[in-house]
Each structure stands twice: as structure tokens, then as C-alpha cells.
Amino acid sequence: MKIAFYDTKEYDQNSFLKANADGRYEFCFFDTRLTKETCRLAQGCDVVCVFVNDEVTGEVIDELVKMGIRLIALRCAGYNNVDIEYAYKRIHVVRVPAYSPYAVAEHAMALLLTSIRRIHKAYIRTRDFNFSLSNLTGFDLHGKTAGVVGTGKIGRIFMDICKGFGMNVIAYDPYPVENSGIAYVSLDELFEKSDVISLHCPLTAENRHLINASSIAKMKKGVVLINTSRGALIDAEALLSGIKERQIGAACLDVYEEESNVFFHDFSGHIVDDDVLARLISMPNVIVTSHQAFLTAEALANIADTTLENIENFFRDGTCKNEICYKCPQVNTCRQEHNEKCF
């Protein structure tokens, strides 16, 4: 079994090589992203393994099918970069639905604490032996209201962390978890009441630019926004305007709408062409990390193990518990049991 890995870094390679210690699979690692121009690199392989910024379009799917690729294995949970409707009855797609929800939730809280307690600024100062406390005043989380958008595993873990700080927690999800004890409210109410808003939902056509000029206007003045999910949940131009108008007190971003050509690369010696990103990073109340919320040793091990398990189940047993199928949300047309291939 030969697997082509796209958009890989050293930490990806190390985790997969460790998971493949018995040599069951042959790996081909590529640092380039999967596009219609690079899909030919997978010639002779059985599987392509992709990440969040790979472009799995209809054109790419057609080329992969022509080459005899039988499976697309995502080593991530989100799949907004995959045309799953076009893939149906052409090629199977599997994902890693939960590699470490704790990693992402903990990173979201780390961003929040760093921002509101000015830890990043204090670190830079003390490195220069500047021990002044001027302009480092933060605020308590205790007693504040956290609004969580999306109550899947990551969202619920983040809620528990917030409760540990003594925060009041409210949530919005179009598909509420029954009998969970979660205080669900409407999206407008969440915007109006929250001191901190954290996004923990997948990107869909319906929630693209969920945070926009209109929704920002409904928020508390000085609200802190956290996004560790998908960049396009936030209209970056509207976010920038909200910060400049002092409506948004701070933004903590691990993802960015146009990150695909920037994140995971070193541009420290170059001029970045993305003016919106450059202006966001220049703001004193914005923290940007490079889609690293998932990056823990535990998460990397789980990603590698689950990805290889998905591949083994597909070829050996014909089962795909982690298969993605665009019909799955349509309850009347899919049993959603995933004890067999979707087609």
C-alpha cells in the first residue's frame, strides 16, 4: 500500500513514520500542497493523504481517479476544502474527527489569557530588562460571560475550562446537544451578552462570515473574539474595521480566511502581500498563531494512528466509520451507521 502525503512538515513525517514502525505502508512525503498542478506527484499510489489547505476540487478528484487513487484520507477534522458532493460515487473520503479536542480547547484558552493579561507584551519587555507595568492592566475572567459557538467536543471542553475560571457560559449551536445542561441561547443573544466569544464550529456554506459587520455591531463594546476553527467564519475586513472602531477589544486568531498561502511557511525575510493580515498583526490587541492549536504530541500521534486505521479499515474490512459523505446529514437518505462504505 503506497500513500502520498501532501503539505507535510517534519512533525507530520515523524508521527507517521512512528505509527508505521512495522512497515505496513510505503510513504511518499511532499511538502507542496495538493492542487490540480501537483496531483500527478501521486502517480502509482493507492491513497492520497491531505491537510487543511490542500485543494480537493472536482478537477483534482477527476485526476486522482484517472490515476487509480482509491481513497482520500484527511489527517484533520474539517473538510471544507473538499468537494464532497462531487466526490460521491467517484472516490471515497475519510477524516480524523477527533484527534485531541483538549489540544484545541486549551490553545483557545491560552490565547485568551495571553491577550487579556498582556503576557506576550510582558515577555518582550522583560527580555529587554524593562520591568514597567504601564499599559499591562488586564481584567478578571471570573464573573464574565463566555459565548461559545459550536458545542461539539472541542466547544464543550472549552466551556468546562471557562467554568473552571468562574465564568458564566452560554452557547449557540443549530444542533443542540440534548439533556446536556448547556445554556443555549439565540445567536443574537450570545452576541449581545458575551464578554468573550469563541468559535468552535465547522465551516459550512451557511455560516461563512458568521462574524461580519452586522454581527459585530450587535456585540458588547470591547468583546474578545477567539477563532481556533476555520478562518472564513470571520470576515477579516469587518474584523479589522471592528477593531479600529474600538467595538472589538481583542482578537485571538489561530486561523485566517486567506491562510492557505501564508500559514505553515517562513516569511520572516519577505514582505507579505496580504494587506489585511499585515494590518491585523500590526494591531496591539491582536494575537495570531499559525494554525497550531492542534499541535501537541498527543494530537499528532492520534492523527497518525487514526489516519492509518481509516486506510486499513477501508482496504481490509470495507468499513469506513470516519467516511465523509454529503448525504450523511440527510437523515432520510442515509442511515449514518458507517458500518460499510457509503457507495
Radius of gyration of the chain measured on its C-alpha atoms: 21
Is 206 an active-site residue? no
Place of cell 491560552: 110
- DSSP assignment string, 14-58: HHHHHHTTT--SEEEE-SSPP-TTTGGGGTT-SEEEE-TT--B-H
Catalytic-role residue among 55, 106, 257, 259: 259
Rounded to whole angstroms, the Cα distance separating 63 from 37 reads: 10
User: Contact, 112 vs 226, CB < 8 A?
Assistant: yes
Closest listed residue to residue 310, CA positions, set 81, 102, 11, 16:
16
Catalytic-role residue among 33, 107, 230, 257: 230
Q: Which one-letter DSSP state was computed for residue 206? A: T
Place of cell 477563532: 227
The x, y and z cell numbers of residue 238, run together, are 469587518
Sequence-ordered alpha helix ranges (H) in 153-234:
153-164, 187-193, 213-218
Q: Which one-letter DSSP state was computed for residue 39? A: G
Q: Is 44 helix (H, G, I), strand (E, B) or coil?
A: coil
Sequence-ordered alpha helix ranges (H) in 221-342:
236-244, 275-282, 297-312
The x, y and z cell numbers of residue 35, run together, are 492542487
Is 230 an active-site residue? yes
Catalytic-role residue among 63, 107, 291, 323: 291
The x, y and z cell numbers of residue 85, run together, are 458532493
Is 70 an active-site residue? no
Q: Which residues contact 166 (CB under 8 A, 6 or more apart)?
A: 141, 142, 143
Catalytic sites, residue numbers = 230, 259, 291
